[in-house]
Amino acid sequence: MGSPNSNGPAAAGRASVIAAAARVPFSRAGSDYRELIAYDLARMALAGLLARADLPGGEVDQVVMGTVVQNVATSNVARDAALAAGVPDGVPAHTVTLACISSNRAVADAALAVLAGQAEVVIAGGVEMLGDVPVGFKREVRRRFFDSRRYKGLKDWPAFFRGLKLKDLLPQAPAIAEFSTGESMGESADRLAAKFGVTRAEQDAYALRSHQGAAAHRERLAEEIVPVAVPPKGQVVAVDNGVREDTSLERLAKLPPAFVKPFGTVTAGNASPLTDGAAAVLVMAEERAVAEGRTNLARVRDFVFVAQDPKDELLLGPAYAIPRLLARNGLAWSDIDVVELHEAFAGQVLAVLRALESAAFGRERLGLAGAFTTEVDMDKVNPWGGSVSLGHPFGATGARLVGTAAHRLNVEGGRFALVAACAAGGQGHALLLERVGS
């Protein structure tokens, strides 16, 4: 996307806005939604958004959603969920995957479609069902399953098992690890925290802040949530169930290291939990949204995607994306009123912020004369909680961040909001919103 001063689509007189947002409650993996699949959560989020925006499905030009751990039965979950949510079959829909910034990519694609004049109304979002991950088998077993298509009957099946050991038939769940390095994200977070001198005490304090912020802003968060009735018993789920209002520094301090033992600093308490959930936002051409009388609009001003070394800088993407994004829009950190930063781990958030304040990082990695900013105002950063407390459904978190940032802009009366997130593969993202009418 071109910046406002470029010759790209944004300079041609069109603009895209976030006109509405909705999400289902985020729940710890395998809890509230254990009888459902990702498709169910996606259709609930899409239907909830259409109802909240008072938008007939036939008015939608396109649907795009992000997801990470795909169910092969609904690999294009955006299409299947859109049809179930009431979007007509003549509306195209596609699914994208970019690790934890999948729905950030979906929002970006939606904004680009509007800016290019290919659409006026696009639904963008994401979904993840980590309580129902697809399991697999070793490569040899998979090969034999493929060969079994030629079997004529039971007499052919002994060949399938010949030479296999019982342990070869055990299913394997996908690992949350980097393919290129074999290292888990938790291990990377531990190393990143150590690199930037982020202590265990600081991580626990940040995690407590996340939970306390979410608990204190339950009413605001409820405005973003679409309560859902979960089959088969119709249980109504209306709140995020990962928020721990009763946690404390003492409780967090007692938790053992989760990844690097015995001296690691990342624990189950200061990391985002495995989460099921879905979220969606309505992206519209600004001219149309205004003509329809829609209010509380946030203009998609610009965005960037970046990539770094997945070994040493796996989770550091926002530290590169934020300065690049703000520089090309002529803005400084002090110009930003609202910051929604993905909390993969408390240590990762604090390391990113410390990098932005580091003169050495600014000179050596960003090409600046010194630090990108001399002091981060934490009051701007995730005051309503974040992924550590609310949860992190991989494919849905980006849409939640965008929805909350737009919400906060209008509640707090700010002008600019910044959304940023890290992702597997050493990638990152930052997006700039501007309140319409500010």
**382-414 confidence digits (pLDDT tens):** 999 999 999 999 999 999 999 999 999 999 999
423 bridge partner residues: 427
| Per-chain mean pLDDT for the chain | 94
CA angle 376, 381, 387 (to 5 degrees): 135
Contact 340, 430 (CB under 8 A): no
**What pLDDT score does 265 carry?**
97
What are residue 65's phi and psi, to 5 degrees?
Answer: -135, 155
Tell me which H or E stretch contains 58.
none
Task: Give the contacts of 105 (CB within 8 A, at least 6 positions apart).
Answer: 66, 96, 98, 305, 398, 429
E-strand ranges in 157-297 read 228-230, 235-237, 275-285
The SS3 call for residue 287 is helix
Q: How confident is the model at residue 36 (pLDDT cuts 50, 70, 90)?
A: very high
DSSP structural state of residue 304: E
In contact, 332 and 326? CB cutoff 8 Å: yes
Residues recorded for the chain: 438
User: What is the pLDDT, as a whole number, of residue 8?
Assistant: 36
196 in Cβ contact with 354 (< 8 Å): yes
Name the amino acid, one letter, at 390. Answer: L
Band (pLDDT 50/70/90 cuts) for residue 126 is very high
pLDDT at 241: 97
CB contact at 8 A, 224 and 403: yes
Q: How far is CA 243 from CA 25, 67, 201, 262, in A?
A: 11, 23, 20, 27
User: Kindly report the CA angle at 97 between 95 and 100, in degrees rounded to 5?
Assistant: 130
The residues that are catalytic are: 100, 422
Q: What is the pLDDT of residue 13?
A: 65
The single-letter DSSP state of residue 281 is E
Q: In angstroms, rounded to a whole number, what is the distance separating the alpha carbons of residues 360 and 226?
A: 45
Looking at 10-14, 142-146, 293-297, which range is the least confident one? 10-14
Q: Where does the pLDDT of residue 302 fall: very low under 50, low under 70, confident under 90, or very high at 90 and above?
A: very high
pLDDT at 174: 72
Quick one: average pLDDT of 309-328?
96
Weakest-pLDDT range from 4-13, 230-239, 316-325: 4-13
pLDDT in the model for residue 390: 98
Q: Is the peptide bond before 227 cis (omega within 30 degrees of 0)?
A: no
Under DSSP, is residue 93 helix (H, G, I), strand (E, B) or coil? strand
Of 98-107, 155-164, 272-281, give the lowest mean pLDDT range. Answer: 155-164
Q: Which pLDDT band, with edges at 50, 70 and 90, does 375 fall under? A: confident
Of 346, 400, 332, 324, nearest in space to 200 by CA:
346
Per the DSSP assignment, residues forming a β-bridge with 21 are: 281
Within a 10 A sphere around the Cβ of 168, how many other Cβ atoms? 13
Query: Residue 306 pLDDT > 90, yes or no?
Result: yes
* Span 1-31, pLDDT tens digits: 444 333 333 434 689 999 999 999 999 999 9
Vertex 113, ends 20 and 418: CA angle to 5°?
50
Could you tell me the pTM of the whole model?
0.93
Mean pLDDT, range 331-339, rounded to an integer: 97
When pLDDT is cut at 50, 70 and 90, the band that residue 136 belongs to is: confident
One-letter amino acid of 104:
N
Q: Determine how β-strand 275-285 pairs with β-strand 121-129.
A: antiparallel
Structural domains present in the chain: 185-220+300-433 (3.40.47.10)
Judge whether residue 200 has pLDDT over 90. yes
Confidence of residue 147 (pLDDT cuts 50, 70, 90): very high
The span from the CA of 297 to the CA of 281, in Å, is 12
**How far from chain centre, in Å, is Cα 92?**
23
Per-residue pLDDT band for 137 (boundaries 50, 70, 90) equals: confident
Mean per-residue pLDDT for 20-49?
Answer: 97
Per-residue confidence (pLDDT) for residue 11, from 0 to 100: 37
pLDDT of the residue at 191: 95
Q: In whole angstroms, give the CA distance from residue 290 to residue 35.
A: 41
